[in-house]
């Protein structure tokens, strides 16, 4: 019986230091995590407001461009419908010259948009790399480039929309 008490006391004495050392380990890792978070914040802190402002501008530009793109998609459906009607009515050949000129303008607009889109994709990848590398000064610059590319895309989208309107009006005659 005494042997059982001695073994029990010995077992308890072994558990207590393990619990204390486990508590010490968690405290050390919590301190390291807090230090790392503070270092992250201090590197990013001067740029937070600029980054938020640029991201908001990008979001606004994207919403504007998406609205125009949605209208363009509707107009393209309308153009296809009108072309199909003109084919069935056999009036498409009479409008062929006017249609070719408008299609050339539309094609030029789409080519310009593709050029901007290629630059946008490249800049977005660079911005993603800047975030990964925690290069916040370059990130602000890259986000500004993205916003300016989006802004330059808007008038081209508007021109494409108006070119489609002209095409629709020439098909409707």
Distances (CA, A) of 159 to 35, 94, 173: 53, 25, 22
The segment with the largest mean pLDDT, out of 35-44, 66-75, 80-89, is: 66-75
Q: How many CB atoms lie within 10 A of CB 150?
A: 19
More confident residue, 113 or 40: 113
**157 touches 113 (CB < 8 A):** yes
Residue 160: per-residue pLDDT: 95
């Amino acid at each position: 019986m005494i042997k059982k008490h001695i073994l029990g006391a010995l077992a308890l004495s072994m558990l207590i230091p393990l619990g204390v050392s486990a508590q010490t380990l968690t405290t050390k890792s919590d301190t390291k995590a807090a230090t790392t978070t503070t270092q992250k914040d201090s590197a990013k802190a001067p740029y937070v407001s600029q980054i938020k402002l640029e991201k908001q501008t990008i979001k606004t530009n994207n919403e504007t461009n998406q609205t125009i793109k949605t209208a363009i998609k509707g107009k393209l459906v309308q153009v296809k419908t009108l072309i199909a009607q003109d084919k069935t009515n056999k009036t498409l050949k009479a409008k062929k010259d006017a249609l070719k000129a408008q299609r050339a303008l539309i094609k030029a607009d789409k080519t310009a948009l593709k050029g901007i889109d290629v630059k946008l994709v490249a800049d977005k990848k660079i911005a993603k790399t800047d975030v990964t590398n925690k290069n916040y000064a370059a990130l602000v610059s890259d986000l500004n480039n993205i916003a300016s590319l989006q802004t330059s895309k808007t008038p081209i989208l508007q021109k494409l929309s108006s070119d489609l309107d002209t095409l629709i009006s020439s098909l409707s005659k």
